[in-house]
Amino acid sequence: MSAPVIAQKKPCVVELEAGKSYWWCSCGRSANQPFCDGSHKGTDFTPLEFTVSESKKYGLCACKHTKNAPFCDAAHRDLN
């Protein structure tokens, strides 16, 4: 499997609504970061569907190397 594109080396802070479905971009190619826009088509990547239980701001991973997708775990700090 190829490596994802690093969209940016900091989280995308977004307001999310409880119970609503979101699709997190796992490939890094989406122009609508951190959300999927279908740019993964033709790659080995698939977007991750997720919901949150509380409406508030969240830090979503944009470097695509988190171990806690879709949420930022500060993995971007270890990237070159």
Over residues 40-53, the pLDDT tens digits come to 999 999 999 999 99
pLDDT tens-place string over residues 18-27: 999 999 999 9
**Cα→Cα distances 74→25, 30, 42, 79, Å:** 17, 20, 28, 10
Q: Say how far apart CA 3 and CA 27 lie, in whole Å.
A: 8
Strand 12-16 to 22-24 pairing: unpaired
Residues 6 or more apart in contact with residue 62 via CB below 8 angstroms: 6, 7, 8, 9, 10, 11, 12, 28, 33, 34, 72, 76
What does the pLDDT read at residue 30?
A: 98
What pTM, to 2 d.p., does this model score?
0.94
Question: Are residues 3 and 44 in contact, defined by beta-carbon separation less than 8 angstroms?
Answer: no
